[in-house]
A and B are shown apart, each in its own frame.
Chain A
Amino acid sequence: MDMQPTLEAKATLTLRWLLSIGAVTLLWLAAYSHLTEFADFILASIGLTRQTASGEALHFFFYDTPKVLLLLTGIVFLMGIIQTFFAPERTRALLAGKRVGVGNVLAASLGIVTPFCSCSAVPLFIGFLSAGVPLGVTFSFLISAPMVNEVALVLLFGMFGWKVAALYLGLGLSVAIVSGLVIGQLRMEKFLEEWVQQIQNGQTATYVTESVDWITRFEAGRDHVKNIVGKVWPYILAGIGLGAGIHGYVPEDFMASFMGKDVWWAVPAAVLLGVPMYTNAAGIIPIVEALLGKGAALGTVLAFMMAVIALSAPEMIILRKVLKPRLIATFAGVVATGILLVGYVFNLVL
């Protein structure tokens, strides 16, 4: 017995969703346009002014926290809805039979909007290959999906402005596209584990995606907010708290002497340090904030951030089940080199 809601009930529910989204959007806009007033008000009510170090630090905290949380909630809700249009099965169908080059660009871009969790990296990897997606194109997707995601972009935008966020987006995609192209050129299919090579020749997926209506999409947006914002808010508070402390107290250029632009070994050191570390985009932000606040060069810091998110020891261990050591080493090497270049280019240009 399946209790399908009637059409009428569905229409009512859709309308309710639209009305709530409208109301929340208005509230959101009102709150977002009064961020400074809010911080001023909090500061005034505890009797501090921005002239003191502690006042300045608190003002920073009470301005940035609501700002970043508002941005994050809004964008994550939208992404939750967008992701319902890009089930992995759909992305795979879009990529199957695409030529190298076009395929790499498409794969890296789809990596942003396809829902991805590192624990399904391997099934996804095999699923793509089995549908005839070329190895290099699959890698472009696998590199872009964790690295270029909405949480990283929103946090960079909220804390460092749209230019840094746009650069991260552009360079992250470039690393994913170029690394995938290089791995594709190296013709490393024989370094897949044997059982994967066997799967590679033809297998049809039995899973059929259900039709999705707008109520489901809205619910997906809401659930995405619950999952993501619910998980990352402590990191964000820690990051902004740290940033506030630096903002108020630590002298600028404290880090410049050993993580500044003129230190040639800073970028490779940052990448080497970042590769074995593992955390999500939100977890890395407090560190990024701290480093940047103390005068570390932006390229060095972004290279560190990309290395931490894109390459990690746990991921390598999971990938080992499908890739032979030589392909894993190539993957890590190519991506690390790409990130290294990004770091240097950044430091040179800015």
Chain B
Amino acid sequence: MKTVKVLGTGCANCRNTIALIETVAKEHGAQIALEKVEDLQAIMSYGVMSTPGVVIDGRVVHAGGVPQREKVEGWFQA
């Protein structure tokens, strides 16, 4: 079970990122706990400057825009 956090202040790109992660995780049958982080102080605590950012199990794996589909697939391959 992976904990996935999407950092972002609620813009369109953040929603697209969440939707993309949900779809890809489902396709790969990966169990994830998806969480939206919208609080600015919390976002900044990860040191991310350009949103949306993605954090998996406490590690920042992406920042600045909707991630490429291939990149997201890489996160959920066993």
Residues in chain A within 8 A of chain B (CB atoms):
1-2, 87-89, 92, 115, 117, 119-120, 122-124, 126-128, 130, 195, 199, 203-207, 219, 318, 321-322
Closest 7 CB pairs of A and B: A127-B49, A119-B11, A205-B47, A207-B60, A120-B50, A88-B49, A120-B51
Closest A residue to B62 by CB, please name it: A207
Question: Which among B9, B11, B77 is the interface contact of A1 at CB below 8 angstroms?
Answer: B77
One of A2, A123, A195 near B51 (C-beta < 8 A):
A123
Q: Is A117's CB under 8 angstroms from B49's CB?
A: no
* CB pair B44 A115 closer than 8 Å: no
A92: chain B residues at CB < 8 Å are: 49
Chain B 31-65: CB-based contact to A (< 8 A → 1; otherwise 0): 00000000011011011111101000001100111
Do residues B49 and A205 form an inter-chain contact, with CB atoms below 8 A? yes
Identify whether the interface residues of B are mostly helix, strand, loop, or mixed.
loop
- Max chain B Cβ within 10 angstroms of own Cβ: one of A2, A120, A127, A322: A120
Closest to A198 in B: B41
Minimum CB distance partner of B9 in chain A: A119
Taking a contact as CB atoms under 8 Å apart, the answer to whether B50 and A88 are in contact is yes
Residues of B within 8 A of A (CB): 8-11, 13-14, 40-41, 43-44, 46-51, 53, 59-60, 63-65, 68, 74, 77-78
Q: Do B40 and A322 touch (CB < 8 A)? A: yes
A155–B68 Cα distance when bound, in Å, is: 29
Chain A neighbourhood of B53, CB < 8 A: 207
Known: A203-B47, A205-B49. A2 touches B41 (CB 8 A): no
**Distance of A124 Cα from B64 Cα, bound (Å):** 10
Please tell me if the beta carbons of A119 and B51 are within 8 angstroms of each other in the complex: yes
Taking CB as reference atom, which chain A residue is nearest B14?
A119
Evaluate contact between B43 and A123: CB separation under 8 angstroms: yes
Is A122 a contact of B40 with CB atoms below 8 Å? yes
Alpha-carbon distance between A343 and B60 when the two chains are bound, in angstroms: 45
Contact A207 B47 (CB under 8 A): yes
Known: A1-B78, A318-B9. A124 touches B47 (CB 8 A): no
B residues near A322, Cβ cutoff 8 Å: 40
Residues of B within 8 A of A119 (CB): 8-11, 13-14, 51
16 pairs, CB–CB < 8 Å, chain A vs chain B: A88-B64, A115-B64, A117-B13, A119-B10, A119-B13, A119-B14, A120-B64, A123-B40, A123-B44, A123-B48, A123-B50, A123-B51, A127-B48, A127-B49, A195-B41, A207-B46
Could you say which of A115, A122, A219 contacts B9, with CB atoms under 8 Å apart? Answer: A122
A219 CB to nearest chain B CB (Å): 8
With A115-B64, A119-B9 in contact, is A206–B47 under 8 Å at CB?
Answer: yes
Decide if A120 touches B49 in the complex (CB within 8 Å).
yes
- A92 to B8, alpha carbons, bound, how many Å? 20
Q: How far is the CB of B66 from chain A (nearest CB, A)?
A: 9
Say whether A126 contacts B48, CB under 8 Å: no
Residues of A within 8 A of B49 (CB): 88-89, 92, 120, 123-124, 126-128, 205, 207
Chain B positions within 8 Å of A205 at CB level: 47-49
- Chain A residues near B77: list those with CB within 8 A: 1-2
For the complex formed, measure the closest distance between the CB of A89 and the CB atoms of chain B, giving whole angstroms. 6
**A2 contacts which chain B residues (CB < 8 A)?**
74, 77
A199 and B43 alpha carbons, distance in the complex (Å) = 12
**Which B residues are CB-close (under 8 A) to A318?**
9
Residue of B nearest to A122 (CB): B40
- Whole-angstrom distance between the alpha carbons of A322 and B41 in the complex? 10
Shortest Cβ distance from B47 into A: residue:
A205
Given contacts A117-B11, A126-B44, A203-B47, 7 further A-B contacts (CB under 8 A): A1-B78, A88-B50, A126-B49, A130-B44, A205-B49, A206-B47, A321-B40
Residue of B nearest to A116 (CB): B50
Nearest CB in chain A to that of B8: its residue: A119
